[in-house]
Amino acid sequence: MNKKVISMMLLLAATILSGCSSDGDDPPQPAQETGAPLQVMVVFAPGELGDGGYADDVLEGLNQLKRMDDEREEKDKDAVDVDFISRYDAEDTRNAVTQWAGQKANPFHDGDYSRRLLVISDPTMIPLLGVIKDDLRPTDEVLLLKVYEADVAKAAADYGLGERVHGLNISLTESIRRFCRYMDRAIAQAQTDGKEWNRDFLPIFRRYDESTWACRDSISEVLAEELGTSSRSPIGALNQMGAVFTLDAMTQMQETAYSLAQAFMQNYQQSCSAFCIVDFGKYNAGWDYYLLGHEGDDLFETLMIDARELATHNRYYVKRDFRSAFFGWGYDWMKQESGTLPRMTLIYGEQCVDNIPDMIDY
């Protein structure tokens, strides 16, 4: 290529570049994208997820909030970001919640969230509010699940959060009353069949003992009202508060639940106390493994709390629909001003299903 051709090409290139910038205008830039003004963060207790019931329902309700936001018609931007914290032990959980409380900015876009909601799924974690209360802004709010109104009032007073703390719960009253009626009919039918069934000893097996947290689900209150002193209902607990949830630890918890079922079977064989209530959360499975392994045997009868149906004749369930309840509450929170929702929302009857039979079916 000769020098004349090269010179002409350089001149042409310079002319093109000069023309592109001769008017002094920069090329158009994409508009700065703004993030969602609202955020919902759910914190789960270590090892809580994967229960096939309550905790998983809460997570589904959280995802439903986001799907609703994504499916809005005439949507120009996101309205809400959702996220959750689930760690292996109490220390990691506390650190994650502390980090969240201090991070007011949207992590993906410029600007701070205008309002945030922290949802505490397990009431044993309410003391976390003492760690983060100074980092919460006047527009930030807290929702406590599975509590009574007195618990909400106490948390608000203890941590100086006023009207920004709320509670949401679903009562088991109607299902427990139905179970009491069922036990009486089952005992009468058993006597007709030559069995000596009774409900003198009616234990409630829970994840925590009452010194850690007395569950707010109406079970003990309804049993006392319906059965009086005719039944003794002690609390048996796995009691693993703050444990590190390694695979070995979770396996041990399942084995403990299995062993408790085995021990109750021995009690049933000796005393004919034929009924119990089980609420181990994720570790309900250990109890179920025992029942499935003894299908066809002369077994006691179990009412499983916040669980799903199991294909065995001697195990009933009651399940609270926290997915719908939490989604409905969260949707209302998105639409209203900070601090305007009721302090406590306690749902009776609705959003609670069970398979406790009205008639004995043999």
What contacts 314, CB < 8 A, 6 or more positions away? 291, 299, 300, 301, 302
Sequence-ordered alpha helix ranges (H) in 33-172: 54-70, 90-102, 128-132, 149-159
Mean pLDDT of 103-130: 89
Q: Which residues sit opposite 86 in a β-bridge? A: 44
Identify the pLDDT of residue 311: 85
Mean pLDDT of 156-181: 96
pLDDT bin (cut points 50, 70, 90) of residue 337 is confident
pLDDT, one tens digit per residue, over 272-316 is 999 999 999 999 999 999 999 998 889 999 999 999 998 888 999
Give the lowest-confidence range in 10-14, 129-133, 149-153, 169-173. Answer: 10-14
Model confidence, pTM = 0.87
Alpha-carbon span 90 to 243, nearest angstrom: 7
Identify the pLDDT of residue 339: 80
Mean pLDDT of 64-73: 81
Residue 193: pLDDT over 70: yes
Length, in residues, of the chain: 362
pLDDT bin (cut points 50, 70, 90) of residue 115 is very high
Residue 7: pLDDT over 80: no
Mean pLDDT of 9-14: 44
**% the chain with pLDDT above 70:** 86
Identify the pLDDT of residue 88: 87
Other CB atoms within 10 Å distance of the CB of residue 281: 26
pLDDT, one tens digit per residue, over 133-155 is 999 999 999 999 999 999 999 99
More confident residue, 213 or 140: 140
pLDDT, one tens digit per residue, over 351-360 is 899 999 885 4
Alpha-carbon span 294 to 277, nearest angstrom: 18
Mean pLDDT of 212-223: 92
Mean pLDDT of 1-14: 44
pLDDT bin (cut points 50, 70, 90) of residue 70 is confident
Q: Are 89 and 243 in contact (CB under 8 A)?
A: yes
Instruction: Round the average pLDDT of the chain to a whole number and report it.
Output: 87
Q: Are 25 and 260 in contact (CB under 8 A)?
A: no
